[in-house]
Amino acid sequence: MQLKIVQAGEAVLREHARQLTLDEIHSRETQDLIESMRQTMYQAPGVGLAAPQVGVGLQVAVIEDKKEYMKDAPADFLKERGRKPVPFHVIINPKITLSDEAEVEFFEGCLSLTGLTAAVPRARAVKLECLDHRGEPKLIQASGWYARILQHEIDHLHGTLYVDRMYPRSLMTVENFNRTWKALSIAEARNLLQWK
Ligand code: ZN
């Protein structure tokens, strides 16, 4: 079932999501929620979707970065971002630690802030302890774009949106980003927009 993605201004996006018990993870209700979130993410399309974005205050997120999403991007654009395909998976009750605190900044967007994008500094690499869709413990080590996706989705589980972390002067429409800024390196965009 496709779900409605809520937009900024819905209180649930600003609340701390609750952890799930193992019984809850195994329940038909949670398994249905995961399947619906997966379909909703594909439909959007997006590379991640957290339960608060479909109005559910639970610590669940789905992630998948498909090769087909990258087919039109130049190789150096993908390389600069460390972006590679990530298979579908579910993270539940995640605990994140920054394994490389060195920050990298890139433009990112959010399905709950339609039409906008901004430069956001994020840790280069993270480590994650979480449960998967079966309630099995998982340890995830991620760097590059995948690390950014994880940080973005886990922020959602704590009521944080990228606008809380962005460089305000970099905020723009996706349309303008694609027309004017996408072709520039991040350093060139930073210099021209003077966001730091
Ligand atoms: Zn988001």
The residues spanned by each domain of the chain are: 11-102+120-166
- Low-confidence spans in the chain with pLDDT less than 50: none
* Contact residues for 153 (Cβ-Cβ < 8 A; gap 6+): 48, 49, 50, 61, 63, 91
- What is the CA(161)–ligand 1 centre distance, in A? 7
Name the token pair of 35.
């399947």
Sign of CA dihedral 5, 85, 72, 150: positive
Quote the pLDDT of residue 190: 97
Quote the pLDDT of residue 100: 85
Q: Which residue's entry shows tokens 């460089």?
A: 167
User: Among residues 64, 105, 108, 153, which one is catalytic?
Assistant: 153
pTM surpassing 0.95? yes
Output phi, psi for 154, to 5 deg.
-70, -35
* Contact residues for 169 (Cβ-Cβ < 8 A; gap 6+): 193, 194, 195
- What is the CA(28)–ligand 1 centre distance, in A? 26
Q: What secondary structure, in 3-state letters, does the chain show?
A: CCCCCCCCCCHHHHCCCECCCHHHHHCHHHHHHHHHHHHHHHHCCCCEEEHHHHCCCECEEEEEECHHHHCCCCHHHHHHHCCCCEEEEEEEEEEEEEEEEEEEEEEECCCCCCCEEEEEEEEEEEEEEEECCCCCEEEEEEEHHHHHHHHHHHHHCCCCCHHHCCCHHHCEEHHHHHHHHCCCCHHHHHHHHCCC
What is the C-alpha to C-alpha distance for residues 123 and 177, in angstroms, rounded to an integer? 23
Class of the 11-102+120-166 domain? alpha beta
- What is the CA(46)–ligand 1 centre distance, in A? 9
Do the strands 116-131 and 86-108 form a parallel or antiparallel pair, or are they unpaired? antiparallel
Whether residue 153 lies in the annotated active site: yes
Quote the pLDDT of residue 195: 96
Task: List the one residue out of 40, 89, 101 whose CA is nearest residue 60.
Answer: 89
- What is the CA(75)–ligand 1 centre distance, in A? 25
